[in-house]
Amino acid sequence: MVADAGHRRSAQGHLPDHAIGADQRQLEPGTDPVRADSGGEGPVTDGAEPGNVDKTKAAPVTAIIGYDTRFYELLPKLFPHRPEMKNPYEANAKLAETVAFRNGTLQGAYFMLAARAVGLDVGGMSGFDNAKVDAEFFPDGRIKSNFLCNMGHGDPSKIMAKLPRLEFEEACTLI
């Protein structure tokens, strides 16, 4: 799950199955959920929240985590034992959107963990203009941007310290 399908194939080829993150029905909403672009001028920073502009310009790479609104077209390949499972998604755009967004978000999270595991700094970013990014990078409307990841090696003197985390009891309810 990196910038293009070729990388993705080779990444999976080197990973044991248990190291690949799961998603609903392993549908991987899209062959191109992540798109790499150099941070900088243009639609990625144009319209971004003011606090996000400089750090995006400073990042050598900004990955666009997106989702494929017609992921179900790939289902016969990814879910070959029951290809007819594409039918409910094809017939229900709202259901397809919900599943694509859920699985695309999961894959974005796995992407961040993988990038951090190889030593990169990764800063998630939702404060940007999705419509501008989509118009520039995904003009046919099939892929929608979800969030961005600024990637590289941050200046340790400027990287924010870890923020407080909730205790288990505060975050979880045993039922």
Ligand X SMILES: Cc1cc2nc3c(=O)[nH]c(=O)nc-3n(C[C@H](O)[C@H](O)[C@H](O)COP(=O)(O)O)c2cc1C
- Residue ranges binding ligand X (CB under 6 A): 49, 51-52, 123-127, 147, 162-163
Nearer to ligand X, 166 or 174 (CB): 166
Give yes or no for a contact between 29 and 104, defined as CB atoms under 8 angstroms apart. yes
Q: Which is nearer to ligand X, 117 or 174 (CB)?
A: 117
CA 53 to chain centre: 20
* CB 30 to ligand X: min, Å: 17
Which two tokens mark 69?
């609104």
User: Least distance in Å: CB of 105 to ligand X?
Assistant: 8
Dig out the tokens for 51 from the structure.
């606090």
Which residue number has the CB closest to ligand X? 124
Q: Which is nearer to ligand X, 163 or 175 (CB)?
A: 163
* Nearer of residues 72 and 147 to ligand X, judged by Cβ: 147
Q: Which residue has the tokens 């989702």?
A: 67
CA distance 35 to 68: 12
CB of 99 to ligand X, least distance (A): 19
- Nearest-10 Cα torsion for 162, 49, 109, 100: 160
Structure token digits, residue 168:
């288990």
Least Å distance between CB 87 and ligand X? 32
Q: Quick one: 157 or 173, whose CB is closer to ligand X?
A: 157
To ligand X, the closest distance from the beta carbon of 38 in angstroms equals: 19
Specify whether the CB–CB gap between 48 and 39 falls below 8 A: no
What SS3 class is residue 60?
A: coil
